[in-house]
Amino acid sequence: MTHPFEKTIHKVGLNKGITRIFIEGSELQVNKINRGEKFFKHFVDGKLILDFFADESIRKNTVSKRGEMPVIDLTGKKIVETFGKYSHFEAIYKNRNSEKTITIKPIK
C-alpha cells in the first residue's frame, strides 16, 4: 500500500470479554502513524479522537513500539461505554498541515 487511507472499517474487538479498539500495521504506516508516537485521546459527540498534534503535555497514549509494525490497542471504561453495543467502527484519517488525527466512530 502506497497511498493513505481516508477511512477504513474494522470489527470492534474483545480481549478477555472487554471491548477494545485495535488498529495495526501498514494501515497506520501509510498514514504516517509511527511506532512510539504519542497522542491525546478524547471523546467528542460519541466519537473517539486520537490527536497526534495536541500539546505534548497532554499526549499520554503511545502507539505500540513492540514488533516491527505500529499498533494502536485501546480499551477501558469509556471505550466499553461508547463501542460495546456495536459490531464495527470506522477510522477516519486526517494528516495535513497542522492536523494529524484519527477519528473513530462506532457503526453497526
The per-residue pLDDT for 5 is: 77
pTM for the complete prediction?
0.91
Domain extents in the chain: 7-107
Nine-digit cell string for 40: 491525546
The per-residue pLDDT for 97 is: 81
What is the C-alpha to C-alpha distance for residues 62 and 39, in angstroms, rounded to an integer?
6
Q: Residue-wise pLDDT tens for the chain (108 aa)?
A: 446 779 999 999 999 999 999 999 889 999 999 999 999 999 999 999 999 998 999 999 999 988 889 999 999 999 999 999 999 999 999 988 888 999 999 998
The per-residue pLDDT for 67 is: 86
The 10 Å CB-count burial string (b at 16+, else e) for 12-26 is beeeeeebbbbbbee
Residues contacting 31, CB < 8 A, separation 6+:
4, 5, 93, 95, 102
